[in-house]
Amino acid sequence: MSVIINLERCTGCGQCLDACPFGLLYLLDGRLMVDDGCTLCGACVEVCEYGALSLPATEAGSSEVYRPHGGIWIFAEQRGGRMAPVSLELLGEARRLAARMQVPVAAVLFGHQVQELTAGLIAGGADKVYLVDHPRLADFVEEPYAAALTALARREQPEIILAGATYLGRAFIPRVAALLDTGLTADCTAFDLETETNLLLQTRPAFGGNIMATILTPRSYPQMATVRPRVMKKLALQSDREGTVIPVRLEELEQPFRSRFLETVSEITEAIPLGEAEVIVAGGRGLQDGKNFQLLEELADLLGGAVGATRAAVDAGWISYQHQIGQTGKTVAPRLYFACGISGAAQHLVGMQSSDFIVAINSDPQAPIFQIADIGLVGDMFEIIPALIQQIKASR
């Protein structure tokens, strides 16, 4: 099935050739032709000034795409009975979008014996919580999680599904999108709505973080996206807020799956997890050597914070990956962020630009990091940081 061409109206102007994102349209002896593989995205139809192109009718006799009315869903991620902070961040963003769309917000909670978490989701902005409580969901395994969310989405027909771009979300949400035959935009940093259609405008870094791309999925539902933690702002909890908890039973969870959970192995982590630190002292290529991270560790200890790093510092072997901040590392939003010897590449800025207050220390006055810094110190960090450490000690 492909776009319909009315040859009587077509003038062979060629405007639609450039509009096709897949390059499937071409002219043959002045006549417009279309190759196999047309996705019916409608881009060519929108640019044709002569009405020569149209989309095929659906079974209902209309070219309009069916639009569900199940509102906005967020996947409420929990591990070991503890709610992931990104779940409340997603609820805050979902509420903002729902106010414009005038639709309800629902949280989908998977697990076993996690009923007590539903109150926090309602207080955080959910109008209702779909609670799927089952022993097979006690620990995360991709297959049952994907089967459960797919079955529930087919039954309730949400318009939008948002999830965290965490290890868990990145592992199974793409599988859900494939099973639902819809699109998925990963690692989003912002959302908006198209005024006329209420389509979700999904913005994410592209081409290595050098540009920001805005993506729409106009002809498939639900619209799905994952969001980096610490990017969206959660709402203040309202303990007296009312909502509905809907227990859900799914036959799909009774089928045999190819994989099963064995055990969780605890990872050795820093005293203050990077994603939860109120103060972060981060270093980049300007540190020149891994041993110089000791200087940042001393400053971080004095401030009760954690140490972060750029990808360049991690790739150089100066510090472990668990400290990496940026597009390929963690996203953080501390109250105070020290950027020491960090030039400010776009890939790093994506992971820390939501910090409340940024102090940049760099010897290059033209470094891009100064464009987003609240305070910029131009000079030798090996003189500035020791002086800062001494001043802090003296003040105490």
- At 349-360, the pLDDT tens digits run 988 988 999 999
> Per mean pLDDT, which of 268-272, 284-288, 329-333, 352-356 is the most reliable?
284-288
> Do residues 180 and 156 touch, judged by C-beta distance below 8 A?
no
Residue positions forming the annotated binding site for FAD = 285, 310-311, 324-328, 341-348, 362
Residue 38 or 116, more confident: 116
Q: Which CATH number is 274-395's, of 3.30.420.40, 3.50.50.60, 3.40.50.1220, 3.40.605.10?
A: 3.40.50.1220
Averaged pLDDT, 270-285:
85
* pLDDT at residue 8 in the model: 85
Closest by Cα among 102, 75, 104 to 90? 75
Binding residues: 285, 310-311, 324-328, 341-348, 362
Average pLDDT over residues 229-254: 91
pLDDT higher than threshold 70 for residue 251: yes
> Looking at residue 60, what is its pLDDT?
44
Are 72-254 and 274-395 the same fold in CATH?
Answer: yes
What is the predicted pLDDT for the residue at 140? 92
Q: What is the mean pLDDT of residues 148-172?
A: 94
Q: If you search the block for the tokens 């935009």, which residue do you land on?
A: 185
Once rounded to an integer, what is the mean pLDDT over residues 147-154? 94
Q: Can you spell out the DSSP letters for 161-175?
A: EEEE-SHHHHHHHHH
What ranges do the domains of the chain cover?
Answer: 4-54, 72-254, 274-395
How many CB atoms neighbour CB 274 within 10 A?
23
Sign of torsion over alpha carbons 324, 327, 333, 338: positive
- Tell me the two tokens of residue 13: 């102007």
Question: Which position has the higher pLDDT, 179 or 37?
Answer: 179
Q: What's residue 62's pLDDT?
A: 46
What are the CA-CA distances from residue 389 to residues 278, 288, 385 (Å)? 18, 20, 6
Q: N- to C-terminal Cα distance for the chain? A: 74
The per-residue pLDDT for 327 is 82
State the pLDDT at residue 188. 92
User: 64 is written with which tokens?
Assistant: 């309009």
Q: How far is the C-alpha of 141 from the C-alpha of 343, rounded, in Å?
A: 40
Q: What's residue 63's pLDDT? A: 47
Element (H, E) at 90: helix 85-101
Nearest to 134 by CA among 9, 257, 20, 33: 257
Mapped onto helix, strand or coil, the DSSP state of residue 179 is helix
Which token pair is 368?
A: 């891009």
CATH of region 72-254: 3.40.50.620
Per-residue pLDDT band at 149 (split at 50, 70, 90): very high
Alpha carbon separation from 331 to 85, 163, 308, 355 (Å, rounded): 13, 15, 11, 10
pLDDT tens string 45-88 = 888 988 899 887 654 444 455 677 889 999 999 988 999 999 99
CB 139 within 8 A of CB 261: yes
Q: Give all strands of the β-sheet with 375-378 in edge-to-edge order.
A: 306-309, 279-283, 336-340, 357-362, 375-378
For residue 280, pLDDT over 60 is answered with yes
CA Rg value for the chain:
25
Is a pLDDT exceeding 90 seen at residue 369? yes
Q: What is the mean pLDDT of residues 187-207?
A: 89
The better pLDDT of the pair 132, 256 is held by 132
Amino acid identity for residue 284 in this structure:
G
Strands of 134-228 (E only): list them.
Answer: 160-164, 184-188, 190-193, 200-206, 211-215, 223-227
68 close to 156: Cβ distance less than 8 angstroms: no
What are the tens digits of pLDDT across the range 308-318?
A: 999 999 999 99
Provide the residue type at 372 as one letter. Answer: I
> What is the average pLDDT across 260-281?
77
Inform me whether the pLDDT recorded for 269 exceeds 70.
no
Statement: residue 172 has pLDDT above 90:
yes
What pLDDT does 61 receive? 43
Per-residue pLDDT at 3 exceeds 50: yes
Pairwise CA distance, residues 136 & 141, whole Å: 8
pLDDT at 354: 85
Least confident of 56-70, 161-175, 223-237, 317-331: 56-70
What is the predicted pLDDT for the residue at 64? 54
CATH of domain 4-54: 3.30.70.20
User: Among positive and negative, which fits the CA dihedral 35, 37, 39, 40?
Assistant: positive
Q: Is the pTM higher than 0.85?
A: no
User: Residue 302: CA atoms inside 13 Å, Cβ hemisphere, count?
Assistant: 18
Is the peptide bond prior to 218 cis by the omega test (within 30 degrees of 0)? no
User: Among 157-166, 344-353, 363-372, whose mean pLDDT is lowest?
Assistant: 344-353
Q: State the pLDDT at residue 57.
A: 66
- Identify which of 152, 104, 161, 164 has the alpha carbon closest to the alpha carbon of residue 128: 104
How far, in Å, CA of 294 to CA of 223, rounded?
46
